[in-house]
């Protein structure tokens, strides 16, 4: 199983290291045609507007087709790219997951923080009992969750959704690659593995 990490900007190398620690073969994706050779894709943090510029029209269209067919996991700016609706300001997205998201809702770079959240689904009960460390850097906030979207993890007294899934697409507003907790990346690899098995039946 080969997992791609979109390597245009952001800390893509931290995702590569984490995925390799968990046993995945990782490809750093820098050209659209490399998407043909991977079974799943991680879109890292960075700046979502810059991602769009670096992708270009051809790369954007290729990525749009990919996320409809194969497992994709977006973190921070990656979550913004995957969202159906983006505010602050409005921005074109891939529309791969039915959420409304607000950019920089947790503040500027100086307001970055490490918080403790919790899993609410998508993992076995034993793992879900353990708190989840979350690194927020200029993080977006999920303000609307569609009916078909499953909330995986929440944070804060209002249980704000911070990790979600719809079909083969996962999104997180924080940076799991900067924490020692591997559960979210493992959940994504499980998703890729299950999809791979289903496709080859």
Query: pLDDT per residue over 155-171, tens digit each?
Result: 988 889 999 999 999 99
Q: With 80 as the cut, is the pLDDT of residue 198 above it?
A: no
Q: Which domains does the chain have, with CATH numbers?
A: 2-199 (3.40.50.880)
Cβ neighbors of 181 (< 8 A, separation 6 or more) are 132, 133
Tell me the sheet residues that pair with 103. Answer: none
**Residue 98: which H helix or E strand, with range?**
strand 97-102
Report strand pairing: 169-172 vs 160-166. Answer: antiparallel
30, 7 contact by CB (below 8 A): yes
Nearest to residue 115, comparing CAs of 99, 81, 139? 139
Q: H helices within 39-115, ranges in order?
A: 48-69, 77-82
Cβ neighbors of 135 (< 8 A, separation 6 or more) are 112, 113, 114, 174, 175, 176, 178, 179
Q: With 90 as the cut, is the pLDDT of residue 196 above it?
A: no
CB atoms within 10 A of CB 47: 16
Rounded to two decimals, the pTM is 0.91
Q: With 80 as the cut, is the pLDDT of residue 140 above it?
A: yes
Higher local confidence (pLDDT), 121 or 153: 153
Catalytic residues: 76, 175, 177
Cβ neighbors of 154 (< 8 A, separation 6 or more) are 117, 118, 120, 160, 161, 162
pLDDT tens, residue by residue, 7-17: 998 889 999 99
Tell me the sheet residues that pair with 156. Answer: none
């Amino acid at each position: 199983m080969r997992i791609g990490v979109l390597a245009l900007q952001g800390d893509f190398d931290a995702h590569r290291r984490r995925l390799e620690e968990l046993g995945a073969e990782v490809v750093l994706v820098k050209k659209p045609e490399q998407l043909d050779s991977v079974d799943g894709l991680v879109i890292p943090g960075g700046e979502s507007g810059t991602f769009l510029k670096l992708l270009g029209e051809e790369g954007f269209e290729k990525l749009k087709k990919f996320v409809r067919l194969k497992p994709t996991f977006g973190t921070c700016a990656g979550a913004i790219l995957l969202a159906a609706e983006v505010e602050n300001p409005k921005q074109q997205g891939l529309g791969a997951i039915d959420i409304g998201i607000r950019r920089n809702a947790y503040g500027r770079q100086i307001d970055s923080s490490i918080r403790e959240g919790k899993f609410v689904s998508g993992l076995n009960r034993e793992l879900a009992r353990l708190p989840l460390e979350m690194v927020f850097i200029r993080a977006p906030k999920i303000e609307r969750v569609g009916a078909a979207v499953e909330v995986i993890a929440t944070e804060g007294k209002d249980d704000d959704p911070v990790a979600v899934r719809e079909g083969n697409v996962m999104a997180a507003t924080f940076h799991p690659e900067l924490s020692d907790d591997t559960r979210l990346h493992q959940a994504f690899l499980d998703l890729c593995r299950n999809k791979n098995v289903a496709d080859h039946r």
